[in-house]
Structure formats: C-alpha cells, structure tokens
A and B are shown apart, each in its own frame.
Chain A
Amino acid sequence: MNPLAIIGNVVIAALGETGRLSVFTWKAITHILRPPFYWRLIGEQMMRIGYFSLPVVALTAFFTGGVLALQVYYGSDQFNSESIVATIVALGITRELGPVLGGLMVAGRAAAAIAAELGTMRVTEQIDALSTLSTNPFKYLVVPRVVAAVITLPALVFIGDVIGIFGGFVVGTQTLDFNAGVYIKTTVDFLELDDLTSGLIKSSVFGFIIAMMGCYQGFHSRGGAQGVGRATTNAVVNSSILILAANYVMTSLFFSS
C-alpha cells in the first residue's frame, strides 16, 4: 500500500475520532445542565469512583511522599536538607504528584470499570433498551459518572495530599532523623493555598477526562468481548495520556505568571 495513503488514512481516522469525542463531550455537558437529574445514581457513582478508589490513592500517595523525601535528601546537601525536604515534599505532592498520580490511579481503576460496564451494556443491547424505556442513556449513564468523577477526584486528591505529606514526614522523622516540629513548621510555612487549590482544580479536570474517556469508549464499544476489552484498554491509555497533557497545559497556565 502507498505510504502516503497509510498516513492519510491514519490522519482521517484520528480526525474522525477527535470529532466524535468532541460531539460526545458537548452532548454530555449539555445534558449535565438539563433535568432530569439522577441524584441516587450520582451518589452511587461517587461511592464507586471516589470511596472505593481511596485505598489505592492513599497507598500511592504515602509511598510517593516517602520516596520523594528520600530522593530529595540523597540528592541535596544532606547537612542542610531538613527544610528542603519538607518544602519539596509539600509542594511536589500538592502541585503535581498528588493530582497526577491520583488521576492516573483512578484512571486505571475507574475509567476501565466505566468502559467495561458501558461496553458490556452496549454489546448486550442494554443501552438500546434504555432508549425504548423512555430513558435517555446519556442522562442515565454518562452524566452521573461525569458529575461524580468531577466532584470526587478533588476530595480524593486532597486526602492523597495529606497522606503524601504524611508519608514524607514519616520517612523524614523516622529514617532521616529530622525533628518533627521543624518538619511540620517548615511544611506549614512554605505551603500556600494556591499550591493546594491548583492541584484540586487539576484533579477535577482529570476526573472529567477519566469519566468522559470511560463513557466514550464504552458507548462506542463494538464486537462482543474483544470489543469490550479494547474499549477498556483504550479508556485507560487515552485518559492517562490526556491527564498528562492536560497537566502540562494547566501547570503552564497556573504557574507561568
């Protein structure tokens, strides 16, 4: 086959996919603002996406905080590292590592689960059945997941931030023999509200990305079990890449000034 034709087909396919995703996202946003609102389903999804992701996010945050403390300590002037370790752990966790790693962990867990569930519903005609029962599948399936993810991700990341800083504190005081009082004081002194809020805003956007990718891939799943598997993989891979790209854009916007 002509190499130019291959490139052309790939570009057309990519543009088509981008267009479909944009239309899907726009539909989701417009449906979020219009009744009926399925509050019970939003609550259920908040439990599934937020509460049940807490252990994995907490463990990730704790070990990340600990590792960060060790790396900063070994990579810096060890005689004057107490304040540097505490500051970098606090800023690193709240600004970047908390939201990004939390987002990636939830993407692996929740985006996969959403895509698998909706994909199975698609191939077994359950989504079509919703339409025949006068229920808009977008409102019933997509909106609760998107709203739940946008709300719960910041809460999840906030808890992750606290645990991550605590992880750095534990390693700093137990392994590196830092003074606990000095470590806490340095953390509180250097940490500003903007550091925390920028991470929480990012995590809300990541929540939107995770839910949208999971729903989009699930909704467009085709071809039985293999199609559902493909949708699940795509949901995780695409949401992870989009999270990293969006993180770069938002970091540029928040901290450029």
Chain B
Amino acid sequence: MNISVPAKDVKIELKNVHKRFGQKVVLHDLALTVPKGKSLVVIGGSGSGKSVMLKCILGIIRPEKGSIKVDGKDVTRLSTTDREKTLTKFGMLFQNAALFDSLPVWENVAFGLIQGRNMKRKDAKEIAIEKLGQVGLTTDIGDLYPAELSGGMQKRVGLARAIATDPEIIFFDEPTTGLDPIMADVINDLIVNSVQKLGATALSITHDMASARKIADYIAMIYKGEIIWAGTRDEVDNSGNEYVDQFIHGRADGPIKMDVLKP
C-alpha cells in the first residue's frame, strides 16, 4: 500500500526496507513514497518502527536491506562526506526538541548555519532571532539556555532550529507529545505555516490524530514495521482498513493487540 504520484513528484522513496535489532524485527519490507512539497504524516503505535524509519532516512541508522532515495539518489550507502552534504537538505524537530543544553537558544537555532554552512556568527544570530520571531518567541529568549524554557517553548525553539537553514525536507518526530492541547494546536499551526512558507516537503510521525489531521496532506499507517495503509487525509476516515479504524478511534478492541496483562 503506497501513495501513487508521478516519478517527478517523488521527494523521498523507501522500498523493501528491513531493519532488525538483534532478534527484534523493527522494519519489515517497508515501502513509502513522500510526494514533493506535501506533508505526509505516518501514524502508528509505540514501537511500530516510526522513529527508526526516520533515522534510516537520515542515515543515523543503516538498514540491512532495501533502498531509500532522496531526490532519486540512494542514501543508504553514502560516504560520511556525501551524507553530510545530503543532510543539508533536511531539518528535523525531535520529540523532546533535543536542544543543545550547553548553548544559548539563539546558538541552538543558528547551529546549522554556523557549523553546517560556515556562516559568520553575527549573521547567523540575526537569522536565528528572525526564525525565533516566526515561531512566536521574542528576542530576549535568544540569550536564555534551553533548561530555562518550558516544554512548549523548547518545542518552538526546536522548530525554529529545524527551519533555520530553509531546508527542502523537514521531519517532525512526535511534534505534540507531552504538550497541553492548546500548545499542541499552536505547534500544529506553526508547523503548517512554516512548511507552507518554505514550500518544503514534510514527513511527520505521530500517534496524535488531532495533530495528524491538522498538518497532513497524506496519512500512512505503520504497523509492525510495515506500511499497511496510505491515502489522503480525507480518506483516512473511510480507509476500509480495520487496523486504521481501530487506531484513529483509539479503541482497545480490534486487530491490534497490546501486550497488557488483564486484571
């Protein structure tokens, strides 16, 4: 099951991707197409392989089998230098923001510009302050350290860092996890606005359906390391797939069994 778009409109393409850790199979024959300039949200339960899939695309984890193409180029066996070059296309918002706690906020946002693009610190700081403004944070936040910020503010700084280099592709790893519903909606709005403004391709993973409905053009569901359904956001409610139905309605009963001891 995959999203069908013309070859010229494909930004990222995963085919037959396999990954295991010891005896545990995490990705099994995974296939997924991410259309250029669109926002695809992958939904799925905890431990279904969502984060590993993202890390495989980024080259942080190497799959045992299969191909992952970005702009038609296989990125699974790149040299360190080529991988670093390919990663300049990417921005990523991590689940817990993953801000560098030894650096002030502005330097976190400007990191990709200073280290990745050799920009002067003064120029990079100006851009960082501008990006912080785009995510609704004031200039004075720039001199604080991540530990001094609330969870929602850290997420926004993480988003500012993800968009600081104007990337072609942005990954969002559980962007609303751990946030209250109002802050989650604020983050969703910021994601939609940022992606639209950049014209970027977005790939998000989440189990928050409210977030998925808001930020997605396309939705795919991963289960036991395999994409079992994919379609447009509007099709998700009539997917005809009992796994998807159970997941989007959050039902305990259904084909997806949780490893929970019954009282």
Query: Contacting B116 at CB < 8 Å: which of A121, A126, A134?
Result: A134
Q: Is B55 in contact with chain A by the CB < 8 A criterion?
A: yes
**Would you call B60 and A133 a contact (CB within 8 A)?**
no
A128 to B88, CA, bound (A): 14
Q: Which residues of B lie under 8 Å from residue A129 when comparing CB positions?
A: 92, 94, 98-100
Q: Is A198 in contact with chain B by the CB < 8 A criterion?
A: no
Known A124-B98, A129-B92; contact A135-B58, beta-carbon cutoff 8 A:
no
**Would you call B80 and A134 a contact (CB within 8 A)?**
no
Q: Which residues of B lie under 8 Å from residue A83 when comparing CB positions?
A: none
**Would you call A134 and B92 a contact (CB within 8 A)?**
no
**Would you call A132 and B92 a contact (CB within 8 A)?**
yes
A68 to B5, CA, bound (A): 79
Known A128-B55, A128-B60; contact A133-B115, beta-carbon cutoff 8 A:
yes
A133 to B96, CA, bound (A): 16
**Would you call A133 and B112 a contact (CB within 8 A)?**
yes
Known A128-B55, A128-B60; contact A134-B96, beta-carbon cutoff 8 A:
no
Q: Which residues of B lie under 8 Å from residue A132 when comparing CB positions?
A: 58, 87, 90-92, 171
**Would you call A125 and B95 a contact (CB within 8 A)?**
yes
Within 8 A of A (CB), among B120-152: none
Q: Is A131 in contact with chain B by the CB < 8 A criterion?
A: yes
Max chain A Cβ within 10 angstroms of own Cβ: one of B88, B91, B116, B171: B116
A25 to B80, CA, bound (A): 17
**Would you call A126 and B98 a contact (CB within 8 A)?**
yes
Max chain A Cβ within 10 angstroms of own Cβ: one of B85, B88, B94: B94
**Would you call A128 and B98 a contact (CB within 8 A)?**
yes
A124 to B173, CA, bound (A): 13
Known A125-B94, A128-B98, A129-B98; contact A135-B115, beta-carbon cutoff 8 A:
yes
**Would you call B55 and A135 a contact (CB within 8 A)?**
no
Q: Is A140 in contact with chain B by the CB < 8 A criterion?
A: yes
A36 to chain B, nearest CB (A): 8
**Would you call B94 and A128 a contact (CB within 8 A)?**
yes
**Would you call A134 and B84 a contact (CB within 8 A)?**
yes
Q: Is A186 in contact with chain B by the CB < 8 A criterion?
A: no
Q: Is B106 in contact with chain A by the CB < 8 A criterion?
A: no
A138 to B148, CA, bound (A): 28
**Would you call B100 and A126 a contact (CB within 8 A)?**
yes
Within 8 A of B (CB), among A101-153: 121, 124-126, 128-129, 131-136, 140
Q: Which residues of A lie under 8 Å from residue B90 when comparing CB positions?
A: 132
Within 8 A of B (CB), among A12-71: none
Q: Which residues of A lie under 8 Å from residue B85 when comparing CB positions?
A: 134
A44 to chain B, nearest CB (A): 9
> Nearest B residue to A44 by beta-carbon distance?
B102
A126 to B103, CA, bound (A): 12
> Nearest B residue to A27 by beta-carbon distance?
B80
Q: Which residues of B lie under 8 Å from residue A125 when comparing CB positions?
A: 94-96, 98
* CB-defined A-B contacts under 8 Å, sample of 22: A124-B96, A124-B101, A125-B94, A125-B98, A126-B98, A126-B100, A126-B101, A129-B92, A129-B94, A129-B98, A131-B59, A132-B58, A133-B111, A133-B112, A133-B116, A134-B84, A134-B85, A134-B87, A134-B88, A134-B117, A135-B112, A135-B116
Interface residues of B (CB under 8 A from A): 55, 58-60, 80, 84-85, 87-88, 90-92, 94-96, 98-101, 111-112, 115-117, 161, 171
8 further A-B pairs in the complex, CB-CB below 8 A; given A128-B55, A134-B112, A136-B80: A125-B94, A126-B101, A129-B94, A132-B91, A132-B92, A133-B115, A134-B88, A140-B115
Q: Which 10 A-B pairs have the closest CB atoms?
A: A134-B116, A125-B98, A129-B98, A133-B112, A132-B92, A135-B115, A134-B87, A125-B94, A134-B88, A134-B84
